[in-house]
Each structure stands twice: as C-alpha cells, then as structure tokens.
Amino acid sequence: MNLIGNLYWYPEAGMMDCNTYLFNEEKSMLIDPGATHFLPYLLKELEKDGIDIKGIDYIIDTHLHPDHSGANKAFMKESGAELIAYRGVEKHYASRRPSLYIDEEFSLNSVNLKILHTPGHARESISIYWPDECLLISGDLIFMCGVGRTDFTGGDFGVLKDSIERMSKMDLEYILPGHGEIVFGKVNVDKNFDYIKKIYLSSLF
C-alpha cells in the first residue's frame, strides 16, 4: 500500500509478524521484513504493488526480535539486498554481520532520514524519522494506544519511558508502528502520546 511519495506500508500478516515499510527510491530500503513464515505473503504483496524485489538495495531492522528480523536471511537470498544497521547499536549485531553500518543521517537519494536510538523494548531498538514529512517509523516503541512490552531480555520500562518522552517532543504528523494501525495527523499523534502517558506511564512522568 502506497502511503506518501515512494513510501509503502505492508501490514502484519498475522500473529508474530510485524508491519513492514519500504522506501522505494532509486536506492531502496525495506524496514523489518517480518517473520520467516510470513515472507511468501510479503513477497506477494510487494509484487501486487509492482515492486521488483531484486531492486531493493537495503534491509534494516528496528530491532532484532524474530517477528521483525526473522525473514532477513531468506529475503536477502531472494532479493540480493544488503543488511544494514545503525552504528549506535553496533555491538548488538556482532553475530548478524551487516554489510554496512550507517550513521544518524542517512539518505536514499531525495529522501533524507534520521536514525534514532530508542531503546526500552530492546537494547538495540531504533526509530526512523523522515523530517520532510514529520514521520516516525517507531518499531515497537509506541503503537496506536499502546507501548512496547519490556519483559523480554534487554527490555527496560524506565528506558522505554525516556525514549517515548524524547519522541513526544518531536514534530510529528505520522507514527508508523511495528504493529497495528498508523496514527495519522498531528492532533491524533499528540492525543496518542497523551493517552500513552496517562494510561501506561503516568507513574513515571
């Protein structure tokens, strides 16, 4: 599904899968390929949109939980895409061996992105910010009316709170989460942060 410009959204296919996003630029990047057993579904959805997976240059994960990164190896084999990772979480990728570590500022031709370290759900969690569209791909940091769980190894609720607080101060028109529906519009984004702080994090703010 085309969202804005050349940004596409592929909603999670089922339990233990995730939302996948694609910047289909001259240099293209797939964010969170999802779970291995749902890869055939994702490939069909990409094909419906006329996306040639052989033209996808990069894969990046918002974090390394298998519902987000499980299909990395299989997708790379199908497409020839390279796995990249943010340099700020380099130590967590020792066994994954990305082809390239990128800095906070990262460009895909005309699309300039910022890679933000937003731990709490996982130590290596990142969010991807598109300043031109005031758009945040948040992984499992925040959802529509929810937050990422912190009871997995590496999770930390206090750290999650700090990451959410930082993101709530950004200029945002869209939140594209790792699961569930997209939050559209600044008013709704602000309401979502207010709800999250009141319902989930009130004792920490």
Round the average pLDDT of the chain to a whole number and report it: 96
What is the H or E stretch that residue 3 is in?
Answer: strand 2-4
Give the C-alpha separation, 205 to 202, whole Å.
Answer: 5
- Kindly state the tokens that stand for 6: 């050349």
Question: Which residues in the chain land under pLDDT 70?
Answer: 203-205
Nearest CA among 87, 100, 83, 102 for reference residue 32: 83
Give the C-alpha separation, 126 to 63, whole Å.
Answer: 7
Whole-number pLDDT of residue 202: 81
Give the C-alpha separation, 63 to 128, whole Å.
Answer: 12
Whole-number pLDDT of residue 94: 79
Q: Does residue 39 contact residue 98 with C-beta atoms inside 8 Å?
A: no
What is the distance in angstroms between the CA of the first residue and the CA of the last residue of the chain? 36
Interhelix angle for 39-48 vs 72-79, to 10°? 40
The CATH number of the domain holding residue 14 is 3.60.15.10
Whole-number pLDDT of residue 97: 85
Backbone angles phi, psi at 186, to 5 degrees: -60, -40
Nearest CA among 181, 142, 183 for reference residue 160: 142
Whole-number pLDDT of residue 203: 59
Whole-number pLDDT of residue 205: 45
Residues 6+ apart with CB under 8 A from 159: 119, 120
Backbone angles phi, psi at 148, to 5 degrees: -70, 145
Give the C-alpha separation, 183 to 172, whole Å.
Answer: 10
The count of domains in the chain is 1
Over residues 116-165, the pLDDT tens digits come to 999 999 999 999 999 999 999 999 999 999 999 999 999 999 999 999 99
Residues 6+ apart with CB under 8 A from 143: 177, 178, 179, 180
Domain that holds residue 109: 2-204
Over residues 154-172, the pLDDT tens digits come to 999 999 999 999 999 999 9
Whole-number pLDDT of residue 195: 97
